[in-house]
A and B are shown apart, each in its own frame.
Chain A
């Protein structure tokens, strides 16, 4: 198998951090906040590495679009087993449409046979980049994947849907977006973290790609959601049912 798997990853505020909205309402505070690889992207990296380990793929290339600091998630992905990395450098925050334009350019240059990526980033919660990218490449898509099998030039993808699971069979090349149950990502061991430092990491200036990275959305404001008030503790199930009937009038 000669297939090259491209895995786009994103550096986001760590999932354990409770974000705070900036006082001026322009966004959320990211200064001094712990950053990590988007959890769904870790699953995508893991799946790509497993495909290579099974002999279904030849090489795993990770790519991110972001500032210099985004290198750390590329190193993490290489410590998990990715072979090499590409940083498309920009200091701007890009929307999914713009990121898809960048990724299309990289996928074309790399002649990727499969793009495996997280279904959504836990910062903007867009759940869109994979689908937009698939459309722009004219490739089929297997979104919200919980299992994938590569055979005979096709990929079979089990997808999480509202009522259960659906299976689709796609021609390659294709875009697959990873859902939670696809796998459990491995931890990078210390020796592998050391090894990852020596793996190739190429930096590409975003302007050199000549793609449209303009934003179509203007952020008017970012606000805190309404906080719920903490309620009362009751002592028994009987008291609870009583309150639900007479006070909350919900049953």
Chain B
């Protein structure tokens, strides 16, 4: 059996979530990678990858040509795997539609080649499902699979022509500039909730994030209130993180937020309300006014 992994390359480096997807896929047998746009070299360096299909002409991850291309190659593979990223979640279900198979999203554990564990109901239940499809199309949660190293492999690279995309055209992209680590791969994440009270107060998290080299996240309530942009959202409908240390500031711990962070190794909660559900999952809690605690924390670090 050979698996094909959709590998995402950003600024010349393979995204950590994609390295986790390669690690997950290697459980099935040999691994080929496919890279859209530049970056085939970075994918070829991943240990365990035998061949890289490089599609330099497909630069903007448009789902329509990407899924067409994957579908044309699918018969060579038992599994087609991607990270459960915005790109993976856009392209792979469309591929599944073209192949008429049922995709298996957000896999957190592989039992065997046909059997997978995935969270449902915002992670309040774990379903073990067995697929009867001959080609399995799955996305995997990066936080649940130890990523392969970025270097060490030397795969052959085969270049493929990109199919035309007439129905869908890329217009533009606006990426939020940040020097901080990516939320999904940061060792430390500090997130603010509605208790931050406004967007300006989110700045209070920055000096602490600087000291800990942390990514900054936000609860859905904070995003909905306009305190933080959506790409900072951690939760069922945002990003799923599992850092070594997660610091939750002024956020209550709604079910859908917990779904995005409760697999973190150590959780710290800072909240004025001693009854806030976030304390139920926190290893360490401080009951207090975050506007007093944050400056103290900055000083103590």
Contacts and interface: CB of A to CB of B under 8 A. Distances in A.
B284 interface: yes
Contacts of A131: 63, 90, 92-94, 96-97
Interface in A1-40: 13, 15, 18-19, 21, 28, 40
A135 B236 contact: no
B128 A216 contact: no
A156 to B, nearest CB: 7
Contact of A168 (B120, B170, B230): B170
B86 to A, nearest CB: 4
B94 A125 contact: no
Contact of A240 (B94, B170, B286): B286
B63 A222 contact: no
A224 interface: yes
Q: How large is the interface on B (under 10, 10 to 19, 20 to 34, 35 or more residues)?
A: 35 or more
B201 interface: no
A19 B125 CA distance: 8
B45 interface: no
Interface string B6-47: 000000000000000000000000000000000000000000
B286 A220 contact: no
B224 interface: yes
B224 A180 contact: yes
A166 B59 CA distance: 13
A100 interface: yes
Interface string B189-210: 0000000000000000000000
Residues of A contacting B: mostly: mixed
A241 B245 CA distance: 12
Contacts of A124: 120
B176 A97 contact: no
Interface stretch (A53-61, A62-70, A140-148, A202-210): A140-148
Nearest to B237: A180
A241 B285 contact: no
Nearest to A172: B167
Interface in A112-156: 119-120, 122-136, 139-141, 143-144, 146, 156
A131 B62 CA distance: 12
Contacts of A219: 127-129
A251 interface: yes
Nearest to B95: A135
A224 to B, nearest CB: 7
B89 A220 contact: no
B100 interface: yes
B231 A217 contact: no
A240 B237 contact: no
Nearest to B166: A171
Given A128-B105, A161-B87, A216 B131 contact: yes
Given A128-B103, A135-B94, A222-B125, 6 more contacts: A130-B93, A136-B97, A162-B85, A228-B281, A236-B296, A241-B300
Interface of A: 13, 15, 18-19, 21, 28, 40, 95-97, 100, 119-120, 122-136, 139-141, 143-144, 146, 156, 159-171, 174, 179-181, 215-225, 228, 230-238, 240-241, 243-244, 248, 250-251
20 contacts: A13-B121, A21-B125, A120-B237, A123-B120, A134-B97, A135-B97, A141-B64, A141-B168, A144-B90, A162-B87, A164-B229, A164-B231, A167-B171, A218-B130, A221-B127, A222-B126, A225-B126, A230-B281, A232-B284, A251-B301
Query: Nearest 4 pairs between A and B by C-beta?
Result: A135-B97, A132-B97, A131-B93, A231-B283
